Amino acid sequence: MESSGHGGTVDNSFLQLKVHTKFRFKSVCKEWNRIISNDPVFIDSHTRKGPNSTNFTESSFLCNKREYVISSDPWYHQFNLSEPDFGNRICNTIHGLIYGFADMCYQIYIYNPFTKQDPIYISNPKCRLEVTLAYDPYNNPSFGFTIVALVQLEEGSNCYAFEVYSSKTREWRISKAKMEIPSYKLLRGFNDVFSKGKVYWSVVNHIMWFDVEKDVAGLIQSPDSKNFVYIDPDKNPTFQDLGVCNGKGGELSYTMLTKEGNIEVWLLRGDVHKKFEWEKRYIVRLPEIVQQNWLKLKRYFNPMKVWNRDAVAKSLVRRREIFPVQYVGGEVVWFLIDFKKYDVVCSFNTRTQELKVIHDDLPLPLDPFIPTLLPFPA
């Protein structure tokens, strides 16, 4: 079921990610930040590929620019992680490992960029598209890694099953757990995480979970579910974002954009098997912040038009051009503003109430528990 070999799978996928997605990769750990921003081999590879192909954005995105502003190439901006006809792509990352699809989705790869080992390729004959990697080298190092695939039992039905691949048996099996999801779709693309032995997926108004070791599943209501921005999950999955705080043994975080244009950060306390509750950690009032920091943001708007700061603040929220970034702990909340010409990543310090447009000397929300060198599980 597994094979190895290096075909440039990750290199051919990295730059084809949306700005929001790429920023999350850069935030995994210091070593990720170094590779994406400064690794000469990585930068040179994309310097040669980028300008000559419509499939790659400008390679300057890899470098630490004084102003962290990214060109919105149309193809680049619209790339969908769940697009079934794309050959090589990245799905997510956990504890320094990347996983994604290769060979037109017929293989799932797992890659460690720090050890420079060849990727592990796992056969995916059913072309499972909703997959999550479960890997906990801190609390359960002997467990190896597990791939959990969400499978619709019948086309058009609301009933889902879980197929599980274990690195120990090197085989796929069907879990005994089944789940009926209400009549709306999963929020696709980067809305799945692994925390404390459970895989979580975002569903509109709910969060679905699967316990890897106990082989059971469930559905919990998302926090303040009546006050979030409803979107078509197939068009834009980034108004809600799941995250894991502090890496090792961290709580599940849920970041969302409300109808009023505020970013709310919630933490899951307790055990979904028994008693749990959502605790509101932060609320970031974006309309007020945009108004108060108008001089910092004004430069990104069309200079040929006359802008009113109050009108702009309301417009950004009304037109849904602000996207929250997953919360990973600390007192800084991150979000992205779509200015059409630019996508600008901002940080807001909840203690000092200071807004910053990201610079190369601004610390990212790095996870201190993720080691630089992490061997592949046996």
What domain range includes position 37?
6-122
Looking at residue 18, its amino acid is K
**Is the distance from CB of 277 to CB of 269 less than 8 angstroms?**
yes
Please report whether residue 206 resides in a domain.
no
Using CA atoms, how far apart are residues 202 and 56, in angstroms rounded to an integer? 29
Of these ranges, 81-90, 109-118, 161-170, 303-312, the one predicted with the greatest mean pLDDT is: 161-170
Q: Is the pLDDT of residue 352 over 90?
A: yes
Please report whether residue 229 resides in a domain.
no
Pairing label, strands 131-135, 145-152: antiparallel
Of these ranges, 51-65, 127-141, 290-304, 361-375, the one predicted with the greatest mean pLDDT is: 127-141
Using CA atoms, how far apart are residues 355 and 332, in angstroms rounded to an integer? 10
Confidence at 77, pLDDT banded by 50, 70, 90: very low
* Percent of the chain with pLDDT strictly greater than 90: 9
pLDDT digits (tens, 9 = 90+) for 109-131: 887 766 666 778 888 867 776 78
**Is the distance from CB of 355 to CB of 296 less than 8 angstroms?**
yes
Using CA atoms, how far apart are residues 207 and 241, in angstroms rounded to an integer? 11
Please report whether residue 215 resides in a domain.
no
Top pLDDT among 19 and 354 is at 354
In 3D space, the residue among 124, 169, 114, 115 whose CA is nearest the CA of residue 143 turns out to be: 169
Q: Is the pLDDT of residue 304 over 50?
A: no
The DSSP annotation for 84-144 comes to TT-SSEEEEEETTEEEEEETTTTEEEEE-TTTTPPPEEEE-TT---SEEEEE-TTT-GGG-
Q: Is the pLDDT of residue 332 over 60?
A: yes
Q: How much is the pLDDT for 367?
A: 47
- State the alpha helices, DSSP H only, in the chain: 11-14, 19-26, 30-38, 40-49, 74-78, 286-292, 294-297, 309-318
Q: How much is the pLDDT for 179?
A: 86
Please report whether residue 48 resides in a domain.
yes
Query: pTM of the full predicted structure?
Result: 0.74
Please report whether residue 269 resides in a domain.
no
Please report whether residue 236 resides in a domain.
no
Please report whether residue 82 resides in a domain.
yes
Q: Is the pLDDT of residue 83 over 50?
A: no
Q: How much is the pLDDT for 307?
A: 56
Mean pLDDT, rounded, of the chain = 68
**Is the distance from CB of 149 to CB of 212 less than 8 angstroms?**
no
Using CA atoms, how far apart are residues 152 and 142, in angstroms rounded to an integer? 31
Token pair for residue 322?
């602000």
Top pLDDT among 14 and 285 is at 285
pLDDT digits (tens, 9 = 90+) for 362-376: 444 544 434 434 455
Burial class (CB in 10 A: 0-12, 13-18, 19+), 74: exposed
> For the residues 281-297, what does the mean pLDDT come to?
85
Using CA atoms, how far apart are residues 284 and 331, in angstroms rounded to an integer? 11
Burial class (CB in 10 A: 0-12, 13-18, 19+), 19: buried
Please report whether residue 254 resides in a domain.
no
> For the residues 307-329, what does the mean pLDDT come to?
69
In 3D space, the residue among 254, 253, 190, 249 whose CA is nearest the CA of residue 227 turns out to be: 254
> For the residues 135-144, what does the mean pLDDT come to?
73
Residue count (the chain): 378
**Is the distance from CB of 13 to CB of 71 less than 8 angstroms?**
no
Of these ranges, 16-25, 139-148, 241-250, the one predicted with the greatest mean pLDDT is: 139-148
Q: Is the pLDDT of residue 346 over 70?
A: yes
Of these ranges, 69-73, 81-85, 149-153, the one predicted with the greatest mean pLDDT is: 149-153
Q: How much is the pLDDT for 36?
A: 59
> For the residues 189-209, what does the mean pLDDT come to?
80
Confidence at 38, pLDDT banded by 50, 70, 90: low
Q: How much is the pLDDT for 335?
A: 82
Domain count, the chain: 1
Q: How much is the pLDDT for 106?
A: 78
Confidence at 282, pLDDT banded by 50, 70, 90: very high
